[in-house]
Structure 1
C-alpha cells in the first residue's frame, strides 16, 4: 500500500474531513487484509474472489452513495475514496463494486418502482444478490443507439431477443439490468437468473481484468413480466445516467492503481543498487520519471476531489465526468508504464503489482466510454459542435 507521506505530495489530506479519512482507512485496511493476500493468485487463475463479497457488503461498499434500502448514504467523495482504495488492490475488484452499485443498484434506486426497489436493493447492498448491466452489444459499443436487442409486448409479458457482451459479473448475476429497443423507445428491464430463454457465457482468454468475470448475455424469446420493466424512463438518458455514475467511480479508482505503481517504483528504486553500489533513485533519469509520476498523480487527485465536491453539491455534469475519466485513466496508464520501466525485468513478474495494474488499465481506458469518445464529449462542450460522425 502506498505511503501517505509520498503519494500525498501536496497535502491533499488536509482537504478531507475525519469521516472521509475513516472511510478511506477502513477500505484500505480491508484491501490490505483481505484483497492483497489473494489477488495475485486470482489474477493468475482468472478467478474472481467471490469470498470477498459478503464482507464488502457488510462494510457498505455496494451502493455506498445511495440513500435508504440498507445503503450507507455516504457522500460522493467518500464513495470515491472507496473506489480508490479498492483499485489499489485490483481494477477487476473495483469494477465489480462499481457495477454492483453504479450500474445495477443506481438504476433500480433512480428509475425502479417501489416494488423493484424493495425486492432488490437490500439484497444487492448486502451482497446476497449480484447484478450486472446489459448495454453493450457485439456490434455496438461506443454507439449504444444502434442496439439490436428488442423487447416486444405480449399481454402481461415482454419478450426479449438479442445479445449483450463484455458484461462484468454476467454469469454471476442474480439479476441483469437489460436495455432493449421497444416500439416506445429504449427501455430498461430486470431479467432474473433462470428465466427461460436467458443464458450467459463467460469470455475466456483475457489478458486484462483476469480477476473479474466478463460475460455475454443471450435472450431468445425470453419472457419477463411487465412489472420487471422500469416504469417511466425512456431512451438512452437512462443508461447514460448510469454510466455517468460509474465513470465518476472510475475517475477515482484509477488513482489507487496509479498510487500503487508509483510507490512500488519509488521503493524499488530507493532500495535497488546499481553502478558503484548506488541506488537507482540516485540517477537523474530515474528521478525525472518519479517526479513526473507524482506530479500527474497529484493533479489527478485534485481533479477527482473537485469533481467529488461538485457532485455532492449537485453541480457535476456528464462532460465534467468525461474529463475526469479520460485524464485520470491516462495518467494511471502512464504511471504504470513508467513504473514497469523503472523495475526493469522485474516489472513484468507477478511478484510486483505493476504489470497487473498496467494490463487492467488498458481495459479501463476502453470501457464505459473510450478515451476517444470522452475526447469528443469534451470537444463538443468547448466548441458547441458535435463531432461523433
Structure 2
C-alpha cells in the first residue's frame, strides 16, 4: 500500500534554508500564533492592522532583518524575508504590508540612498518608528510607469511636487514614502524623466486621501495620496535624478518574486483547507472525497501547487545568488498568481454553500487572491516582459 503523501509542499526539501532559518521560522511562527492569529479577524473587521503589532514585530527582530548591522539591522539574507512572507501569508493576505516595508520599500533606501539618508531612516524602519510605502500607481496610470503624471519641479533646495497616487499599500500608516515622480516631463524617451523622492509624512502640501474600501485584503491599509505644491528637500532625492525608472525595474524582480511566494502559500493553504473539508463532508451517505470528480480536482490542484513550489524555490535560490532572472520571475508571478486565483474558485466550489460563508477561511482566500494577478504589474504586463525578453 502506498504511503500517504503530505500536501504541505513547503516542508519538502529546501536546501537554501539552513538550521538558522528553521529556528527563525519556528520563533516567528510562535510569535504569530500568539500575537496575530487571535486578533486577525478583528483586524479584518477594523480594516486596519494596529501599529502596536508592527512595534511587536520590530521588538522581535522581524522588521527589515536584511539591513546592514552598521545601520541597526541583523544583516540576514533574503531567505529570512521569504520566511516572514510565508508565515504571514499563512494567516492572511492582509498582513502583506509588513513584506512591502521589509523587502520592497526599505531595499530602495539600502541600494540607492546616501549615507545621510540611511543614517536618518534605516534604524527607525527597523525599530518600527517608521512604516514605509512606495507610491507608483496613479488614478490614470497603472503599469505604464514611464508616463506617470505626478511632477516634481526644482525650486532652489526643494522639489515642488504635484499629483495623486492611488492603491498605495501602507498608505494610512506610512511615515515615509518612496514616490515616483516626473522631474523632466519632456524627456525622450519618457522613462528618462522619472525620479524617486523620499517623502516624509509631515511634508507641507502632502496629505492622505481616502482609506480605500477593497473587495479583499481588508486589514491591509490602502489609500490615496495627494501632493499639492508639496515641498520636498532636494536632499530627499533617492539616487540620481532621471534614474527612477531603471531603479524600479531593478527592484521589481524581488517584489514580483514575493508576489509569487505569497500566492503560492495561499494556494497551499486553500488546498489544505479543501482537502480536510472534503474528507469530513458527507453527501449521499459517504465522504465527498470518495467521489471521482473531487479526487480529480484535488489531484490536479495538488500537482499545480507542487509545480509552482519547485519553480518558485528555484527562483529564490537564483535571486539569492544575485542572478538576473527577470524573465523567469515574470513567468512565476503570472503563472502562480493565475493558478492560485483559479484554485480559489475550485476550492470554494468543493466547499459548496459553506464556502460562501464568511466563517470559512476559503471565503476570505477567494476575496484576497483576486488582486494577485493585478498588483505589482498585471499578468498581461508579465507576458509582455516575457515576450520582449524572447526578442518578440
TM-score by length of 1: 0.91
Specify the alignment match of 1:271 in structure 2. 280
Q: In 2 relative to 1, CA 5–17 (structure 1 residues): closer, same or farther, beyond 3 Å?
A: farther
2:380 equivalent in structure 1: 372
- Residue 194 of structure 2: SS of its match in structure 1? strand
- 1:86 correspondence with 2:94: no
How many residue pairs end up in the alignment? 379
- Paired residue for 2:122? 121
Q: Which residue of 2 aligns with 1:216?
A: 224
State the distance in 2 between where 1:129 and 1:246 align: 20
Q: Provide the rounded CA distance (Å) in 2 between the counterparts of 1:330 and 1:21.
A: 29
Residue 139 of structure 1 corresponds to which residue in structure 2? Answer: 140
Distance 1:26 1:338, change over 3 A: farther
User: Quick check: 1:64–1:71 contact (8 Å CA) kept in 2?
Assistant: yes
Alignment CA distance shift 1:245-1:59 (3 Å): farther
Counterparts of 2:40 and 2:332 in 1: how far apart (Å)? 27
Residue equivalent to 2:346: 338
Are 2:206 and 1:198 aligned? yes
CA distance in structure 2 between the partners assigned to 1:291 and 1:123 by the alignment: 47
Partners of 1:9 and 1:92 in 2: CA distance: 21
Name the CA shift for 1:9/1:164 in 2 (closer, same or farther; >3 Å): closer
Q: Secondary structure at the match of 2:228?
A: strand
Which of 287, 311, 315 lines up with 1:303 in the alignment? 311
Structure 1 residue 217, shift from structure 2 partner: 0.9
- Asked if the contact 2:178–2:196 (Cα under 8 Å) also holds between the matched residues in 1, the reply is yes
RMSD (CA atoms): 2.0
Q: CA deviation at 1:209?
A: 1.5
**Structure 1 residue aligned with 2:330, among 302, 322, 328?**
322
1:113, 1:309 → 2: CA distance? Answer: 29
Find the residue that maps to 1:104 and give its secondary structure: helix
Check conservation: 2:196, 2:244, Cα contact below 8 A.
no
Which region of structure 1 is more displaced relative to structure 2, 190-199 or 203-212? 203-212
Partner of residue 242, structure 1: 251
Which SS does the other structure have where 2:100 is aligned? Answer: helix
Q: 2: CA distance between counterparts of 1:320 and 1:161?
A: 36
Matches of 1:25 and 1:10, distance apart in 2: 13
Deviates more, 1:136-145 or 1:324-333: 324-333
The verdict on how the C-alpha distance between 1:180 and 1:32 changes in structure 2, with shifts beyond 3 A counting, is: same
CA contact (8 A) 1:23 1:82 kept: no
Q: Distance in 1 between matches of 2:125 and 2:237?
A: 18
Deviations 1:197-220 (A, max 9, x none): 000123433211211111111111
Distance in 1 separating the partners of 2:388 and 2:21 = 34
Higher relative contact order (CA 8 A, sep 6+): 1
> Unaligned stretches of 5+ in structure 1?
none
Q: By how many angstroms is 1:81 displaced?
A: 2.6
8 Å contact 1:65–1:76 — kept in the other structure? yes
Question: Secondary structure at 1:236's aligned position in 2?
Answer: helix
Deviation at 1:9, TM superposition (A): 8.6
Which of 249, 258, 261 is residue 270 of structure 2 equivalent to? 261
Q: CA deviation at 1:13?
A: 4.8
TM-superposed deviation, 1:322: 0.8
How far apart, in 2, do the equivalents of 1:5 and 1:72 lie?
34
The answer (yes or no) to whether the contact 1:10–1:298 under 8 Å persists in 2 is no
Are 1:170 and 1:215, in contact at CA under 8 Å, matched by a contact in 2?
A: yes
2: CA distance, partners of 1:245 / 1:343: 34
**Deviations 1:87-145, CA, capped at 9 Å, x for gaps:** 11111212x02221233211111111111111111111222211111111111101011
Deviation at 1:24, TM superposition (A): 2.9
Shift, 1:79, TM fit? 2.1
CA contact (8 A) 1:9 1:298 kept: no
Structure 1 position 286, deviation (Å): 1.0
